[in-house]
Amino acid sequence: MAPSSWLCDETGRRRLIENNSRVRPQRIATFALLLVVLTSTAPWLGWWPLAPLAVAALGYAWADRQMLTTERPERPFACAWMLSQTCIAAVAALSGGPRSEALLWLAVPIVTVSARLTVRGLIAAVAATEVLLLAVTVGVDASAVLHAPQAVLYPAGAIAAVAVLSAALMNSDLHHRSKSVIDPLTQMLNRAALVGRAQELAEQSAVTGDPVAMIVLDLDHFKEVNDTHGHATGDAVLRDVAYLIRKELRAFDLAYRLGGEEFLVLLPGSGEPAAIEVAERLRQAVESCGSAGVDITISCGVASSAPGNAFDFDGVFARADFALYNAKRSGRNRVSGTLDNRVPAAALTVPD
């Protein structure tokens, strides 16, 4: 996983990927609304504003793809976001500059930044937008701005106000949401977060045809750790293992604590062979590091949806869970995959 940047930290990256599919329908609806507005004003303004709108839409479509394959998803998002602001500024500049009603549209994309980037990223976005505002007002017709400074001050104030209010609302929302979807011990996502993400991946894979791999992993002989060293040591082990898992994953991979000593990792865009390599890397990292003075190992089961098919969480989980059963039955501290979609129902119980 790439280190944190001034645009986005590790938690923000997970939120950026997880929220992107949720925001996409609303973003499409927003573009549709703008299309209706521009089409209805075409008899007076002309059809040319549709071109910048199309460019902005294509920019976000490109970013959606790139965010799934890069270790720094904030970069394509920032590029698409800046492109959309530039397109709005171009429409304002060509439709009257300081007299253009499109200036207020510059405040709309600000809402999407506070949910995805750091405070510094939000400040940078506001600053870039204010620069664009000055360019399309003072740069186009400075004399008009001198006679009517409200042409700049009103939209500038609206942009700053939207940033402040959206940031405050988002921070409050994140505070309350984190209590329901974050495991308090390991700070990993929990089962509640997994349910929503599984549905999103199913919808996404149905469109793209990309496979989704899953790793189910379990700490070996964890009960002995608690019985021998105490639950405080057991908690420390779980925290350390959770950290190692997050450290070894890409920004767009997601890790969850299912409960107890069991974890689950989702790898969008990966088939089973690539997921087995990731699982082996996780196994080696845990084995080599240890935790709280205790030697720790993990067993991993791996499975993947088929390319071209929608991601079926229950089916893939059953196969990964069976592979985990095989890994434990074969001696533990190993990775097991499966190429057989048929899983015996009687074999789905993993031993303690």
Per residue, the 3-state secondary structure of 99-135, as one string, reads HCHHHHHHHCCHHHHCCCCCHHHHHHHHHHHHHHHHH
Domain end among 163, 181, 199:
181
Same domain for 145 and 281? no
Same domain, 109 and 201: no
Question: What would the DSSP string read from start to end of 238-271?
Answer: HHHHHHHHHHHS-TT-EEEEEETTEEEEEEET--
Tell me, yes or no, whether 227 and 169 share the same domain.
Answer: no
Domain match, 150 and 198 both: no
Domain stop point among 128, 146, 181: 181
| Ordered mean pLDDT values, 10 residues apiece, the chain (352 residues) | 66 72 85 94 93 96 86 89 96 94 93 81 94 96 95 95 86 59 87 86 88 95 91 93 90 87 94 94 91 88 92 94 94 84 40 42
**Residue 170 and residue 198 in one domain:** no
- At residue 3, the pLDDT reads 59
In-domain check, residue 5: no
Extract the tokens encoding 137.
């007002």
pTM (2 d.p.): 0.60
| Residue 251 shares a structural domain with residue 174 | no
Burial 312-332 (b: 16+ CB within 10 A, else e): bbeebbbbbbbbbbbbbeeee
Residue with tokens 């189910």: 216
- If asked whether residues 31 and 139 sit together in one domain, one would say yes
For residues 176 and 265, state if they share a domain: no
Residues 169 and 222 in one domain: no
Task: Please report whether residue 25 resides in a domain.
Answer: yes
User: Is residue 302 classed as helix, strand or coil in its secondary structure?
Assistant: strand
Give me the domain span that covers residue 59: 10-181
Q: Is 278 a member of any domain? A: yes
Q: What pLDDT score was predicted for residue 178?
A: 53
pLDDT at 349: 41
- CATH number at 306 reads 3.30.70.270
Structural domain count of the chain: 2
Same domain, 132 and 93: yes
Q: Is residue 17 part of a domain?
A: yes
Residues 122, 200, single domain; the answer is no
Residue 297: what pLDDT? 95
Residue 257: inside a domain, yes or no? yes
- The number of helix segments (H) and strand segments (E) in the chain equals 13, 5
- Beta pairing partners, 254: 266
Are both 125 and 265 inside the same structural domain?
no
Domain-located, residue 3: no
